[in-house]
A = this chain, B = another copy of it.
């Protein structure tokens, strides 16, 4: 696992973006942390920091989508799945001393008005998360339109709870969001 230099660069950059954001993460910092030679970064990513950013955003987005689907897939029903999702997020926050939250949100807010390619990359991730969530709710018997609304609400609440939790160093918001979304989802399921 992670034997190649390129993989080390991608993984390290993803972790640094999650904690310090896009502008807050330097190329020097990336190569140092990844134990990679400086020249290798521009060999693998000739488009520079922006190209590296695009690939990291896409990769992190896919990895988190896989994680979401694994968590919800392992649960006996979709309400329990939602519960496990928020509980898992709270657990990661606590274990990382409130450093590791969503790998996309920070970058998304930073680049929304500065880099159109990066903004599109974050939008693509959110769209695919929404699509995945919609599919899961449809599978549980919710009609398409309502399913998409539930998916958007779930993701928005999760992201918002991440912000409040990281700022206050508390999982209170994550717990509140969990209970609320559980109830909304339960009410939307066919009886």
Q: Which residues of A contact B (CB under 8 A)?
A: 19-21, 23-24, 98-99, 101, 105-106, 108-110, 112-114, 119, 122-123, 126-127, 149, 152-153, 155-161, 163-164, 166-169, 172-173, 176-177, 179-180, 184
Contact = CB atoms under 8 A, between A and B. Distances in A.
A180 B109 CA distance: 23
Contacts of A177: 152-153, 156
- Nearest 10 A/B pairs, CB to CB: A156-B160, A160-B160, A159-B160, A106-B109, A112-B166, A23-B23, A23-B24, A122-B167, A108-B167, A152-B176
A129 B54 CA distance: 34
Number of this chain's copies in the assembly equals: 2
23 contacts: A19-B113, A21-B23, A21-B109, A21-B110, A99-B113, A108-B167, A109-B109, A113-B166, A119-B169, A122-B167, A127-B168, A149-B179, A153-B177, A156-B157, A156-B173, A157-B157, A157-B160, A159-B163, A159-B164, A160-B160, A160-B161, A160-B163, A180-B184
